[in-house]
């Protein structure tokens, strides 16, 4: 049984579910999975603190807003990347790739974007996603080494990718009417993950040089 202030307002399962606008079965599942705090009475009935319900509802509302933000950012970033690539065909870091190599890199890029979408959707944490991003960066570096790209050229490709993602994020507030703090969170998470990728690339090159 959890302790609480004496003035806490407790609601039964049915009333609590109505506060959240969900079916009682859904709320019971959330409680059983530990997603929302619940108190069990001596008779085994679930009781929910009104303050916990209100906080949970606010967090879910923010998540829905954030998810829409990330989807808008991803779509805009992909469009921006395709446009920019058209004018970069002669860049050494791009010209070195044959069609099969480009397909391989596209697959890595799509995988990285998927990891990033999950990472930026979190308010904090996500170390396992950073680890996955490091793995992707290492795979890209190994591929670049096989093609004979220098570290500078390998990083130029990653910087291009980074620039398009950040530029798309910076342009979002005007298009989506975002709060500045939401956009700042997005940019910070993008940078944190791509920092890990770039350090992974540099690390693989450093190992190859030894």
What's the pLDDT at 199?
95
Tell me what the mean pLDDT of segment 200-210 comes to: 93
Interval 61-87: pLDDT, tens? 654 544 556 666 667 666 767 666 666
- pLDDT grade, residue 7 (50/70/90)? low
pLDDT of residue 187 exceeding 70: yes
Structure tokens at 194: 């791509």
What's the pLDDT at 175?
46
Q: What is the DSSP string of 41-59?
A: -TTS-EEEEHHHHHHHHHH
**Residue bearing the bigger pLDDT, 188 or 184:** 188
With contact defined as beta carbons under 8 Å apart, do 68 and 107 qualify?
A: no
pLDDT of residue 121 exceeding 80: no
What's the pLDDT at 181?
66
What's the pLDDT at 204?
96
> Which among 2, 71, 197 has a CA at the least distance from the CA of 10?
2
Of 68-82, 112-126, 181-195, the one with minimum mean pLDDT is 68-82
Average pLDDT, the chain: 79
Domains of the chain plus CATH, in order, are 10-56 (1.10.1660.10), 88-209 (no CATH)
pLDDT of residue 177 exceeding 60: no
Instruction: Calculate what percentage of the chain has a pLDDT beyond 90.
Output: 28
Instruction: Calculate what percentage of the chain has a pLDDT beyond 70.
Output: 70
d(CA 93, CA 156): 7
What's the pLDDT at 82?
66
């Amino acid at each position: 049984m959890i302790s609480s202030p004496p003035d806490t307002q407790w609601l039964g399962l049915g009333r609590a579910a109505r506060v959240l606008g969900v079916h009682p079965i859904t709320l019971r599942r959330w409680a059983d999975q530990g997603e929302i705090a619940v108190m069990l009475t001596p008779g085994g009935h679930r009781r929910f603190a009104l303050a916990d319900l209100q906080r949970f509802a606010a967090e879910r509302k923010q998540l829905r807003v954030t998810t829409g933000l990330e989807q808008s950012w991803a779509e805009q970033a992909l469009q921006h990347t395709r446009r920019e690539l058209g004018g970069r065909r002669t860049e050494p870091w791009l010209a070195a790739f044959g069609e099969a190599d480009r397909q391989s890199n596209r697959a890595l890029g799509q995988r990285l974007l998927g990891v990033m979408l999950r990472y930026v959707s979190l308010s904090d944490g996500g170390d396992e996603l950073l680890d996955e991003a490091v793995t992707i960066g290492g795979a890209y570096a190994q591929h670049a080494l096989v093609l004979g790209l220098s570290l500078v050229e390998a990083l130029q490709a990653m910087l291009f990718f980074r620039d398009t993602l950040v530029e798309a994020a910076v342009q979002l507030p005007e298009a989506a009417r975002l709060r500045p703090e939401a956009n700042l969170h997005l940019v910070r998470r993008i940078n944190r993950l791509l920092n890990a990728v770039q350090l992974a690339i540099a690390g693989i090159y450093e190992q190859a040089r030894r």
